[in-house]
Structure 1
Amino acid sequence: MIIFGSPRRYLQGPGAIARLGEEIARIGKTAVLIADAHVLGLVSAPAAESCRTAGVTLSTITFGGEITHAEVERMASLCTRTPSEVVIAAGGGKTIDAAKFLSGKIGAKLATIPTVASNDSPTSHIIVVYDEHHKLVGVERLKANPDLVLVDTAIIAKAPAILLSAGIGDAIVKRFEVEQCVGVQGSNAFGGRSPQTALALARACYDTVRADSVAALAAVERGEPDQALERLVEASVLMSGLAFESGGLSVCHAMTRGLSAVPGPASALHGHQVAYGLLVQLVLEGRDAAFVEDIRGFFTEVELPLSLADLGFNGGPAEIATIAELTAQAPHMKHFARPVSAQDLVAAIEAVEAMASPTKDAAE
């Protein structure tokens, strides 16, 4: 059967954080705000004022910076001192995933406030867990998606452009992954088949990303939200999140298993990792040269990686073999039109690297 999941409520716009208190009051009277030290400086004052006005008691915990089992245990122990009905996650993907894990552990409801649009973690029930060295160690799942997603685009407009570029990368791949998953009748993140709604969202996400990314990046450079940024943020946070969870993933996200295991790419932003994965997937799909060049041209416009070197890679064949072997073992690889071996992946990576070489030669 088909299954579609989504957050309970989604709000987006400049100044949206002023609505936080009244929105939290719908689901609880006590809340704990989880954010790193930098983000607390951005949101703690308006969040506290909004919650005070709405009669919500708010406490704060400073996130340590890496989503590990130990960090979640530390925050959970702090929550025993001041029990909260709602966990509010403010920040990027790591903070949000850590707060998701925490909310499930203490049995609280969850609200997310992304301060960057670098990925679609704010809408999903998926939690990616790492170790202290940023190596992916597992994936956890909440029982449900967040109760509230609140996106203040005035805050996002002031974040570094490279983070929005990563969000573009994470969003653009969803069309191609969902199409593959639907094509093989694979399972989505809820264990069901992909509804046509998810496929439609993935394609609308792709169209929006292609139409609005350049202008949205310009808005971020100015530090002022505009309609292009509003549309792109909706695509990269909401459309992308709904599409991947209910539609399914494929090669692009499987590549994160391999890329996160080698020096250089392991430190790259998630959206840049999966964007490189799209180039590999397009080779595996046998897309024609004109289509691939169109995608590569767009990647150049929005500063997405065209090569492993763009992800910080300086290894050789042995490291490429490691990337391929770990990627081939990822569960998402079964969502592809044909079986793909580690050798197939090595060949596809080599093809992507060969395409990038003339570009680099010309630049030099």
Structure 2
Amino acid sequence: AKQQQCDVIIASGGGKAIDTVKAVAAGINAATVIVPTIASSDAPCSAMSVIYKEDGTIEKFFIPPKNPDLVLVDTGIIAHSPVRMLVAGMGDALATWVEADAASQSGARNPARGQSTTAALTLARLCFDILMEYGLQAKIANERQAVTPALEKVVEANILLSGLGFESGGVAAAHSLQDGLNMLEECHGFYHGEKIGFLTLVQMVLEGRPKDLLQQVFTF
């Protein structure tokens, strides 16, 4: 890309392809265009890139100076993607409000080293509420390869609201525990969102969240 003097780099695919392009673009000061073909995480809107070692464990987190310049999502493509990917994205998005709320209560800083705002927490909560109300409908739509209002809302939650929510609100136990699980080879076959979805439940139990909220999330 540097030899060709590229001023724009486009990523099309999933999280690893997207994170690779974000890191490369930052290295040559190029604009970044993200065209996700799955809604399995909030990577498209996030500035952060996860750098992996060859054995699948995390080497480091690289944070470029800015977020992607353009994120273009075609829900027609998402509707034809594997259902497991969409569900994994819901698992990742599920953590957004739970972790942002915990970070806010403890005074922890977000990835940009700032304090979360009311707007960030509101977006994170909206992400959670959309999943609770439309998640199952979106999964059914994906199974039928149909673009529906529910699918549109959940794709927005998985990609946009989760990205804004976690970067502005902060993360907590769920993502920290995931970094630990990632050291285990037995966990390499699971997608990021699948691990985060489970670990969000773990975090909620550790926090002693209200039983009605726990039941709602466990049922989901």
In structure 2, distance between residues paired with 1:291 and 1:264: 30
In structure 2, distance between residues paired with 1:219 and 1:290: 28
User: Which letter does structure 2 place at the counterpart of 1:225?
Assistant: V
State which of 146, 150, 159 in structure 2 corresponds to 1:237: 159
Structure 1 partner of 2:66: 144
The within-5 A match list for 1:269-308 is 269-298=191-220
State which of 96, 100, 105 in structure 1 corresponds to 2:22: 100
Q: Give the conservation status (yes or no) of the 8 Å contact 1:118–1:166.
A: yes
State which of 145, 153, 162 in structure 2 corresponds to 1:223: 145
Structure 1 alignment gaps of length 5 or more:
1-78, 299-364
- 2:99 aligned with 1:174: no
Structure 2 partner of 1:130: 52
Structure 2 alignment gaps of length 5 or more:
none
Flag as ranges the 4+ runs of structure 1 deviating above 3 A: 288-291
In structure 2, distance between residues paired with 1:109 and 1:80: 13
Q: State the percentage of identical aligned residues.
A: 39
Structure 2 partner of 1:308: none
In structure 2, distance between residues paired with 1:165 and 1:115: 14
TM-score after normalising by structure 2: 0.97
Partner deviation per Cα, 1:116-149 (whole Å, 9 max, x = no partner): 0000000011111101121111100110011101
TM-score after normalising by structure 1: 0.59
Q: CA deviation at 1:191?
A: 1.2
Helix, strand or coil: the match of 1:255?
A: helix
Partner deviation per Cα, 1:49-73 (whole Å, 9 max, x = no partner): xxxxxxxxxxxxxxxxxxxxxxxxx
In structure 2, distance between residues paired with 1:256 and 1:175: 17
Structure 2 partner of 1:340: none
Structure 2 partner of 1:204: 126
Q: CA deviation at 1:180?
A: 0.8
Structure 2 partner of 1:69: none
Structure 2 partner of 1:262: 184
- 2:166 aligned with 1:247: no
In structure 2, distance between residues paired with 1:294 and 1:265: 26
Q: Give the conservation status (yes or no) of the 8 Å contact 1:255–1:273.
A: no
- 2:70 aligned with 1:159: no
Q: CA deviation at 1:289?
A: 4.0
- 2:106 aligned with 1:184: yes
Q: Give the conservation status (yes or no) of the 8 Å contact 1:260–1:267.
A: no
Greater relative contact order, per chain length (Cα 8 Å cut-off, separation 6+): 2
Structure 2 partner of 1:195: 117
Helix, strand or coil: the match of 1:122?
A: coil
In structure 2, distance between residues paired with 1:222 and 1:152: 16
Q: CA deviation at 1:287?
A: 2.4
The within-5 A match list for 1:33-112 is 79-112=1-34
Q: CA RMSD, aligned part only?
A: 1.1
Q: Give the conservation status (yes or no) of the 8 Å contact 1:127–1:140.
A: yes
Number of residues of Structure 1 aligned to a counterpart in Structure 2:
220
User: Which letter does structure 2 place at the counterpart of 1:297?
Assistant: T
Structure 2 partner of 1:21: none
User: Which letter does structure 2 place at the counterpart of 1:244?
Assistant: F
Helix, strand or coil: the match of 1:112?
A: strand
Q: CA deviation at 1:294?
A: 2.6
Partner deviation per Cα, 1:212-247 (whole Å, 9 max, x = no partner): 111111111111211110011111100110000010
Q: Which has the larger radius of gyration?
A: 1
